[in-house]
A and B are shown apart, each in its own frame.
Chain A
């Protein structure tokens, strides 16, 4: 049969992020990719912020004062949650890539989520206690 278009049937990058019909491993991948993008965006924001240091103490201090509003603190919380998840899941994927623990990938992912939750709670409590 003649094939009219050779283009694969895909929605491109939308299919990376569509959780419908996917299972535990697929959700793990989606979260990893989202947190990876989030961390990369944050890295640039962070570098811009550090750039304030070069503009002298006043610029930096006023930025720090600005950063104490709830919205920014919420954003920092997201960075911690995302960073913990991405890093711990990175260890899971690295182990799997050495052939270690693949049949337990689901349980490992639940472990990653559990550690992320615990780590985020500890960080969150300390952040709100010190501010």
Chain B
């Protein structure tokens, strides 16, 4: 790591209980090669032990460290300070939007998990379905396979919620399933999982999307939820057209 040191003002969103939110500034010496989460951890370690934030893996796998950094949704564990500010500059650190704030930088992501359950792609599987020895792994329902007959992961979605935060209409449509959930439905496909049609073909499903493509812009895991929503629309429309012509 370089010896270079930067002085950066972390302007951090604070909110406890029913209290009004406010911003608190912490000026830190950091290496520009460090990640944003490193600064947040240092604030907690050396300046204010009451700062609440979430992380686990530190390598873009768990999806816990999502925050708004200078107004843009980022996984803070893979966002280098050099890429989002300058020496003497500011980092405005806020919790994700469109979820209720629990405390400071931590939000309640139930909205996302409940949606994942609705499309049969739960974030957490029952223990009985996760054999620890690795043999006889049985997905809860038919999960698509690639040509080599390997199970496809849930399109690499790490359930970080960045896409719901970036969506300009998710705040005024609390029941909107949202990009990650619709992407999980698209991956299964309405042909394979016809019962999903009723879940996604509704005002708070594929038709709530207003094509801003902000979900795709912020997704750290190449899920491309914007494209998947549009593809799901295509599937819904194809089904309807088939039905008009008397098809199944």
Q: Give the CA-CA distance A105 to B224 in the complex, in Å.
A: 13
B130 part of interface (Cβ distance < 8 Å) = no
A130 part of interface (Cβ distance < 8 Å) = no
Interface residues of B in 199-235 (CB under 8 A from A): 210-214, 216-217, 226-227, 230-231, 233-234
Main secondary structure of the interface of A (DSSP, over half): loop
Check A9/B168 contact, CB under 8 A, given A96-B211, A98-B233, A99-B231: no
Q: Give the CA-CA distance A99 to B234 in the complex, in Å.
A: 5
Query: For residue A1, which residue of chain B has the nearest CB?
Result: B102
Chain-B contact segment, one of A20-28, A54-62, A73-81, A116-124: A20-28
Check A25/B230 contact, CB under 8 A, given A7-B100, A10-B172: no
B72 part of interface (Cβ distance < 8 Å) = yes
Contact indicator B227/A22 (Cβ below 8 Å) = no
Q: How far is the CB of A80 from chain B (nearest CB, A)?
A: 23
The residue from B68, B98, B214 contacting A22, defined by CB atoms under 8 A apart: B214
The tally of residues in A whose CB lies under 8 Å from a CB in B reads 35
Output the residue of A11, A15, A20 with the most chain B CB within 10 A: A15
Contact indicator B212/A4 (Cβ below 8 Å) = no
Contact indicator B213/A10 (Cβ below 8 Å) = no
Cβ of B68: which chain A residues have Cβ within 8 Å of it?
21
Cβ of A29: which chain B residues have Cβ within 8 Å of it?
168, 210-212
Contact indicator B230/A102 (Cβ below 8 Å) = yes
B71 part of interface (Cβ distance < 8 Å) = yes
Which residues of B pack against A, CB within 8 Å?
17-18, 68, 70-72, 95-103, 106-108, 111, 168-172, 174, 210-214, 216-217, 226-227, 230-231, 233-234, 237
- Other A-B contacts than A28-B211, A98-B233, A102-B226, 18 sampled, CB-CB below 8 A, are A4-B18, A9-B101, A10-B97, A10-B172, A13-B172, A15-B97, A15-B171, A18-B168, A23-B213, A25-B212, A26-B168, A26-B217, A96-B211, A97-B233, A97-B237, A98-B237, A102-B230, A105-B211
